[in-house]
A and B are shown apart, each in its own frame.
Chain A
């Protein structure tokens, strides 16, 4: 048996699953310190199901906590970035093209140093330990502890990033260092951006992960726990504490995987209505369609492989303005159960409108009975329009497709959506994301440069696929369930021997899950 938990900005959801069966589920408000919400959700699940916690095989947690921290510019550490590549790369220093407010929060501590490699492995300029030492001393003097290190072509040769980290550690043994080569792919600025975001989140990540551990310990749960990453696969807790950026898209991924599982549909549009936003994505063969273009997170360009989702400011906590009628994007968020009218508050939210319209029976309906019916209808019209336009934008053709509506705010969606063949609101729709976390798989990746002149494309691909499969199995996947889910080939022009970088990802079910 396994427990899946989704910690969203508004709600913390949990499900208990035995194989493919959902035994119990709960939804509780997310708390400011995250841990209390998880503890509350676990307590409810265990009480409702009478679970013997010793029988748990694993606990999976999905969280948008780190994404929200970047978007809200909260709880981020001042961070320095050291880039190795001089004299090249100086035309666009680190943090270039970042939103000004976010760069201010991080403190604009950017340093260019010598080093870096050419595409063919030659050094751009020699590594200079004294230069790095001087930079580290300056960073220390500025009281900055989080450091991202990037070096030109580090995905091909990470040696200079590693050397620089050693030198920095000599000056600042406690420094919290992220190497760009451990985070991203070729594309210096995007990879460096991801490394900087990772560095500024590390302290929050360590606190959060130890909070998760404490919450589980408090419930006497000793089963291993995992955190879900962007692609829907799992990473263990310690790895997650070091790589918080890898959780950035896990929210939409989990909810889409959960929607596919609950509905049995493999090709559909998923509309996930949360407390603050609605995320619309597309399922292809049961997996989220991946965005092909660079993805912006909180205004920062990255080259992560993210689900292609459209996010609009519509959720169960969205605040209604009445003159003129406007829905969101501001939301009462996790304070819905104290601030919404039906819960005794004074803020008019979309949930109040749904209750007034008779779409949902929650809270105290009498508190919204005096609402003008014209207002209720115009808010409903506005919501319908927002959803119709967004679903249409995500569709690939005019052909009607099924739509799966999930998430706690699903009560807002009552009317038929234009251009869809059917609307499915599966059982347990409100906790689809926790289910997506609970059914998450284990992945293995390989990323190597092959000389196709020596072995040919087919043989190189076969070798890369085998390596990825082996890694998935050693990470805990059941060998019989491992599938190759992604293959990417990037030719490196000018390299002799038709050199091509091949990246393969394999995933399988967790053994014993």
Chain B
């Protein structure tokens, strides 16, 4: 189990977070080099603790960014946004945080609490609220479990910080935060939800930071050997490789702030069953030869066959040779309450029942 993240661990954690991003969550490259810079400049490692090491009455908070990946790779952050958001929230509630939490392990938000932890001298909990990436705030296990998402704070590069004191539903928190993010330039730091250690322990998906690290280690080791990492990565999370092939079509459109689209992958060697995958930031449903083989909340992860690097939906293009992994969702996402928020119907596929892959992510 992960106890700290040092300079030599960042690459593996970044790759693993990218894989768990299931095509979304934003690229982890920028987060990785930022984390490396912080580690070098501060000369200390990030401390990672188990959720069960947090006292019941301690206060913790998740931290990340909200916004469009296209904006994130162009308008880089100032660097002080996380601290601004967290300090503002501490002032608002009148107590200090004992640890930081990853809200979304998949993609760039998997690394940001580590950066904020270094900046504030706080440990980061090994676990998160999704076990993957999802596009909206109400989709984490904390919100699903009933932890209020407010008070929450957003901060931008100018030092502007806004606290939403009370919003009566997670969905409303999502809508208000996203509207404000657009005003703040399409990308902003977001601190929420504030939780007690007791709440954290009830709802967190444990061990996902460690899982990301293990996945990244496998990819890096396979790359050195020139081997295909897909099978080994899938087995780390009790999943399997659904398909290997070449991307032959990608269609995209942006509606209501989300990059939606569909890709088609043709198999190598002339077999005629193709795989179709629809995405809304993250990969949502995969069909093989017209039959559904994997649906959200199970994880559909696409890796570059060449080097095992996870491929975000924004990088999908014709000719890419890929392995498609199907990983079972963490058990926390399979309750009726969770499926109402993160099942196929919640993403606009009411006709497709959730047919879970066997097993659980961890």
Contact = CB atoms under 8 A, between A and B. Distances in A.
A398 B268 contact: yes
Given A119-B70, A119-B185, A493 B258 contact: yes
B358 interface: no
B74 A92 contact: no
A125 B157 CA distance: 11
B68 A119 contact: yes
B78 A88 contact: yes
B73 A188 contact: yes
A371 interface: no
Contacts of B68: 119, 492-494
A125 B158 CA distance: 9
Contacts of B93: none
B186 interface: yes
B253 A498 contact: yes
A449 to B, nearest CB: 12
A293 B78 CA distance: 26
Contact of A119 (B76, B186, B246): B186
B319 interface: yes
B33 A97 contact: yes
Nearest to B77: A91
Q: 9 smallest A-B Cβ distances: which pairs?
A: A397-B268, A91-B79, A491-B254, A493-B68, A88-B157, A89-B76, A118-B185, A87-B157, A90-B78
Contacts of A20: none
Nearest to A393: B226
B83 to A, nearest CB: 12
B319 A491 contact: no
Contact of B37 (A92, A119, A292, A399): A92
Interface string A238-280: 0000000000000000000000000000000000000000000
Interface hub of B33, B75, B78, B315 (most chain A Cβ within 10 A)? B75
Given A292-B317, A494-B68, A188 B76 contact: yes
Contacts of A118: 75, 185-186
B66 to A, nearest CB: 11
B71 A119 contact: yes
Contact of B319 (A97, A289, A457): A289
Contact of B75 (A119, A389, A489, A493): A119
B33 A188 contact: no
A491 B37 contact: no
B226 A292 contact: no
Max chain A C-beta neighbours (<10 A), residue from B74, B226, B255, B314: B74
A124 interface: yes
Contact of B78 (A91, A457, A490): A91
A498 to B, nearest CB: 6
B185 A122 contact: yes
B145 interface: no
A486 to B, nearest CB: 10
A9 interface: no
13 contacts: A89-B78, A119-B74, A122-B185, A124-B185, A396-B268, A488-B317, A493-B68, A493-B70, A493-B186, A493-B257, A498-B253, A499-B254, A500-B253
Nearest to B36: A97
A335 B43 CA distance: 47
A189 B76 contact: yes
A188 B37 CA distance: 18
B74 A186 contact: yes
Interface string A282-300: 0010000110111000000
B185 A396 contact: no
Nearest to B115: A91
B357 to A, nearest CB: 26
Given A398-B269, A494-B186, A124 B75 contact: yes
B75 A87 contact: no
A96 B314 CA distance: 24
Contacts of A500: 252-254
Contacts, number: 135
A152 interface: yes
Interface residues of B, number: 44
B319 A290 contact: yes
A452 interface: yes
Contacts of B71: 119, 493-494
A284 B246 CA distance: 13
B315 A120 contact: no
B182 interface: yes
B6 interface: no
The A contact surface, by secondary structure, is loop
Interface string B256-276: 011100000000111000000
Given A96-B37, A491-B253, A498-B255, A188 B74 contact: yes
Nearest to B185: A118
Contact of B34 (A91, A119, A495): A91
A494 B257 contact: yes
Nearest to B73: A187
Contacts of A393: 226, 306
Nearest to B309: A293
Contacts of A292: 304, 311, 315, 317, 319-320
Nearest to B178: A494
A153 interface: yes
A443 interface: no
A445 B104 CA distance: 39
A186 B73 contact: yes
B159 interface: yes
B70 A492 contact: yes
A85 interface: yes
Nearest to B71: A119
Given A92-B30, A124-B185, A290-B319, A396 B252 contact: no
B259 A491 contact: yes
Contacts of A294: 29
Interface string B52-92: 00000000000000001111011111110000000000000
Interface in B314-352: 314-315, 317, 319-321
Contacts of B76: 85, 88-92, 152, 188-189
Contact of B254 (A120, A124, A290, A495): A495
Contacts of A88: 75-78, 157, 185
A90 B79 contact: yes
B321 A396 contact: yes
A92 B33 contact: yes
Contacts of B319: 284, 289-290, 292
Nearest to B158: A87
Contacts of A489: 252
For B69, B79, B226, which residue has the most chain A Cβ atoms within 10 angstroms? B79
A444 interface: no
Contacts of B159: 87
A299 to B, nearest CB: 13
A37 interface: no
Contacts of A91: 34, 37, 76-79
A452 B255 CA distance: 11
Interface in A451-499: 452, 457, 488-495, 498-499
A488 B250 CA distance: 10
A116 interface: yes
Contacts of A488: 317
A494 B252 contact: no
A289 B79 CA distance: 38
A45 B314 CA distance: 48
A500 B253 CA distance: 8
B108 to A, nearest CB: 13
